[in-house]
A = this chain, B = another copy of it.
Amino acid sequence: MSLAGHVDRLRSGDQDLDGLGESMHAAMARLYPICRSITGDGVRATLDILGESLAIQRHAVPSGAQAFDWTVPDEWNVRDAYIADRRGLRVVDFRRHNLHLVGYSVPVRATMTLDELRPHLHTRPDQPEWIPYRTTYYHRDWGFCLPDSQLRSMDEGPYDVVIDTTIVPGELTYGELVVPGDSTDEVVVSAHLCHPSLANDNLAGIAVATELARTLTSLAKRRHTYRFLFAPGTIGSITWLSRNADVLPRIRHGLVLTGLGGPGGLVYKRSRRGTRGIDRAAAHVVAGRGGEVRDYSPYGYDERQFNSIGFDLPFGRLSRTPHGEYPEYHTSADDLSFVKPSQLAESYLAVLEIVDVLENDERYENLSPHGEPQLGKRGLYPTTGGRAADEAVMAMLWALAYSDGSTSLLDIASVAGVDFAGLRRAAGHLEAAGLMAPAR
């Protein structure tokens, strides 16, 4: 099937969108328990699972390697971490939830009173039942995260504090999948994989990206080459950028996928320049789904790196309600129950529609441009006059009215306020009737 066919079947209900959402959610469930960070075993375990259905290439960059202004850090792994009370009871235990341990905590083995411990304990008093997510990647420190209600119930101790971690030279690991197309022009899809047991941020992005990768791989052909990156945030994308100078000039469009299973409508964040092809394609799709389109800001996910002045790549970002705007963000409440299969499914379809635009936007030439062609004699128009035109006829009229050889279907969709996919089908009918042809 063609990509357009995939889109049309999912939109018409001929293919089961709900089932797709359930299967993406199930894929997330396997990845959820793994303790990921910007380096370490969790990243590799995650890539192992993704690699079961996709030929993802794994890259390892040694600690100490330079990536522009950054240095690949030592690798961090956790064997155990807990705070135990006088009776030996683990009151805070990494094995119960990996958010309990501040990411990149250094090894500790000590007995401390609560007062001594307190500077190392992180809670969210405004959300007293949730464990916050904290890291200390580039500053040697340690700490535990716990519900504020639990902290308030703890006595003075003393407590046994054990952090059995290693921070030693190792590697930064990331995955990459290239799906070749007719052209070497690339579309890059990036989803960060450094977050531990947080579902929406970003197992949801990873689930949508892998589903898209599977669909694109299944096609007989693609216009563009597609490159998928599964890398830790910031250091991962900067490292990739530092080692792929030859790829960068071929990138035509980029999309960062994150937070695609949580609440709220779709939100597209424009590239820094704001007027790139990906911006127009995504804005059309997201607006058509009642979502929101926002201007670039230099805070968020890896769009920050791709859009930085030295690279200036056309990367937008697709999410649902963005980071920091839902209370569950960066807490233990961002769990599997927080992510809805139906939201994942709509997100996936939106991404597919964006790719449909990137693959199938064409400039056509109206071959019967002097007045309207007589659609009726070609069976494309209702025979009884006096009534209003239906949606399919309107799409043909829009396509004919604006297809001057230099105006693309997406241009027309924007002017007309009609759907790209409908216009694409209308163009197909008109081409079949000999009334339009792709512009030379």
Complex contact B386–A310 (CB within 8 A):
no
Please report which residues of chain A, range 263-313, place their CB below 8 angstroms from some CB of chain B when the two chains form the complex.
272, 295-299, 304-305, 307-311
Q: State in angstroms the CA–CA spacing of A389 and B384 once bound together.
A: 60
Complex contact B135–A385 (CB within 8 A): yes
| A299 partner residues in chain B, CB cutoff 8 A | 389, 394, 397
**Residue among A134, A139, A376 with the highest chain B CB neighbour number at 10 A:** A139
Q: Are B371 and A69 in contact (CB under 8 A)?
A: yes
Q: A103-B385, A134-B384 are in contact. Are A370 and B297 (CB under 8 A)?
A: no
Residue of B nearest to A397 (CB): B298
**Residue on B nearest A70 in the bound complex, by CB:** B374
- Chain A residues 190-245 with CB under 8 Å of chain B are 234, 237-238, 241-242
Cα separation A374 to B103 with both chains bound (whole Å): 18
Number of chain copies forming the complex: 3
Chain B residues contacting A272 (CB-CB under 8 Å) are: 401-402
What residues of B have a CB within 8 angstroms of the CB of A370 in the complex?
68-69, 238, 241-242, 308, 310-311
A309 and B369 contacting across the interface, CB-CB below 8 Å? yes
* Residues of chain B with a CB closer than 8 A to A304's CB: 371-372, 397, 401
Q: Does A5 contact B (CB under 8 A)?
A: no
- In the bound assembly, the distance between CA atoms of A310 and B403 in angstroms comes to 11
Chain A, interface size category, equals 35 or more
B369 touching A132 by the CB < 8 A rule?
Answer: no
What 1/0 mask marks residues of chain A from 362 to 389 whose CB sits below 8 Å from any chain B CB?
0000101111111011000001111111
Most buried by B among A133, A272, A386: A386
Which residues of A pack against B, CB within 8 Å?
A: 67-70, 102-103, 122, 132-139, 141, 143, 234, 237-238, 241-242, 272, 295-299, 304-305, 307-311, 324, 330, 366, 368-374, 376-377, 383-389, 394, 397-398, 400-404, 415-416
10 inter-chain pairs at a CB distance below 8 angstroms, sorted by A residue, are A68-B370, A102-B384, A103-B385, A138-B374, A139-B384, A241-B370, A298-B394, A298-B402, A309-B400, A324-B388
